[in-house]
Amino acid sequence: MHALSSLELARAIQEKKLTAVDAVSACLDAIRKIDGKINAFVSVNEDHALSRAAVIQNKIDAGEELSKLAGVPIAVKDNISTKGLMTTCASKMLDGFHPIYNASVIEKLESAGLIVIGKLNMDEFAMGGSSETGAFGAVKNPWDNSRVAGGSSGGSAAAVAADEVPLALGSDNGGSIRQPCAFCGVSGIKPTYGSVSRYGLVAYASSLDQIGPVGRTIEECAVLLEIISGQDGRDATCIMQKPFAFTEKYANNLNGIKIGLPVNYFEKGIDEGVKKSVLAAVNVFKDAGAQVCEFTMPLTEYLVPAYYIIAAAEASSNLSRYDGVKYGYRSQNAMALKDVYRISRNEGFGMEVKRRIMLGSFVLSSGYYDAYYQKATDARRLIQSVYENLFKQFDMILSPVAPTAAYRIGENIDDPVKMYMGDIYTVSANLAGIPAVSIPCGFNEQGLPVGLQLTGRAFSEAKLIHAAGEYQNITDWHTRRPGSAS
């Protein structure tokens, strides 16, 4: 059963070869056997998942039309609200918190007949690039358990790569879906900002956050994105009137597609194994009919600073609600009100969250707002203008996802600047609000997965999915599983 894709699994259920209960039971068995090694799950809702599977199976048996993924198990990142199921953001601050409502994407999953079986580990409040900063310990890469799974959606990518679940949801704030997908050898989509409701997503940086799918193939991610996208009156930033419908028929090649290749991304700071794999993928796109044109990406020196100033500023505002009074953990050591705030936040938040709150408070403070935050927002507008001009020349941009493959657990955790620079290729898509996909494209010398990224203009997901799908039709990197790399 684990050899089946999510779409194949759904077809088998529809054809009565398997049941939804069989599928959920197989995933629960895999989690029990595997997750002790990779730590991808924070919680598993076994009884509810099995009873929900029985309900969905009855609907399928009755001929009710649900979706292409009806009966398929899925797990979701632990910053997405699930009614009655613990949602902690991998933080002591929210330990034991059980929401009283479902996020919009959870409602859509359930309406489509998917079965949420558990919540996935992550960096605390999605702040980190390695899934090491959470209160439940580091997520370990299924390809090498001594290495990180990437972050902040490391649990989402690791669970799919290890065949614990066929599909997962993550959130992407600056590469948080794409980078772990690259590190774990799976596929993922960071959708256009405003295409998927953020209602029920615990906020980190509200102008950057976006929920997206993780799967083995881009086709599975596309079908899942169709389900979770579309209008939601509870989220004013969700501007899509209708969900995506990737039904457009393309030729079985990439003739006429013009791809931009930022050559300065390959000049320094990138590992040779990553560079070799991505440039080899460029040749595959050329052979498939795409026209690849080199260019120099402007403003690269401003991407990471602008992103971290804006993200930290929004984080300091969003996380101010966790004060030990209105929300979150309350220290038993606090006697006076000012101690409730100070000690509860000190004990409830981890070091990376504290670092970003302090940075954000600093750049928003009197005397520094204009010098830092205002300049970062000015840089953001320039970055958006750069992409507007680039997409007058190109249909999409091809680049690495990250400058390295997965590094060892603990290797960079005490060097935040080095960690932040690992986001150099991904943060610009969030700053500009545009879509990007990550797909596997090879392995480095240590046998670790490498991913490539395709970025397009707003709401051009169909083109990106077509190009990524054509690449996966030609290559087999996405079919490799831990232990099968050559």
Residues serving a catalytic function are 77, 152, 176
Alpha carbon 411 to chain centroid, angstroms:
22
Give the integer Cα–Cα distance in Å for 260 and 395. 8
Helices (H) and strands (E) in the chain, counts: 15, 13
Identify the three-state secondary structure at position 131. Answer: coil
Rounded to the nearest 10 degrees, what angle do helices 351-364 and 300-318 cross at?
100
For residues 127 and 134, the answer to whether their CB atoms sit within 8 Å is no
The secondary structure of the chain in percent helix, strand, coil, rounded to multiples of 5, reads 40, 15, 40
For residues 178 and 154, the answer to whether their CB atoms sit within 8 Å is no
For residues 85 and 37, the answer to whether their CB atoms sit within 8 Å is no
Identify the three-state secondary structure at position 256. Answer: coil
H/E element, 303: helix 300-318
**What φ, ψ does residue 77 adopt, rounded to 5°?**
-60, 145
The DSSP annotation for 340-365 comes to HHHHHHHHHS-HHHHHHHHHHHHHHS
Burial of residue 173 (number of CB atoms within 10 Å: 0-12, 13-18, 19+): buried
In the block, tokens 């795409």 appear at 290
Rounded to the nearest 10 degrees, what angle do helices 46-61 and 6-14 cross at?
50
CB neighbour list of residue 476: distance below 8 Å, 6 or more residues apart: none
Nearest to 94 by CA among 316, 308, 315, 321: 321
